[in-house]
Amino acid sequence: MRTKARRSAQRGITLIELMVVVAIVAILGTVAVANYRSQALRSNRAEGKSALLRVQAAQEKYYLSAHEYTDDLDDLKLPAQTERQLYRIELVVEDDGDAYTATATAIGSQVADEDCPVFSIDETGQRLPALGASRCWQ
């Protein structure tokens, strides 16, 4: 009779086994959330790059009619921030309107993107990632 009592007591899981399973699930969850956040920030970069390409096209159209570039986004009929407010767009005109640099700076939740917080493009189409990180425009 004693053997039956031992067998029935051993059918469940112990607290230590349960704690090991919980620890493993917590570690996997932490890794998964970190990877998800990293990929989300990376995919949000497309919004900043897209906004700069729209600025570039609008600047070229403006240049055809005014024979100079503008530093006012209102002249280009473009907003100062991207759709989801992830990037702020700024224009700097140089050489008496013959050159410009458009910059997208991360704001809001995108500030957490430490790899590529700033993108820029100029009138020649040269794409300048922040901190020399060439993968920012990829």
pTM: 0.75
Query: pLDDT per position in the chain (138 positions), as tens?
Result: 555 555 555 677 888 989 999 999 999 988 888 888 888 888 899 999 999 999 999 999 999 999 999 999 999 999 999 999 999 999 999 988 899 999 999 999 999 988 889 989 999 988 887 455 567 887
What DSSP line would sit under the chain, residue for residue? -HHHHHHHHTSS--HHHHHHHHHHHHHHHHHHHHHHHHHHHHHHHHHHHHHHHHHHHHHHHHHHHHSS--S-TTTTT--SB-TTS-EEEEEEEEGGGTEEEEEEEE-GGGGG--S-SEEEEETT--EEEGGG-GGGG-
The pLDDT, as a whole number, for residue 135 is: 75
The pLDDT, as a whole number, for residue 8 is: 54
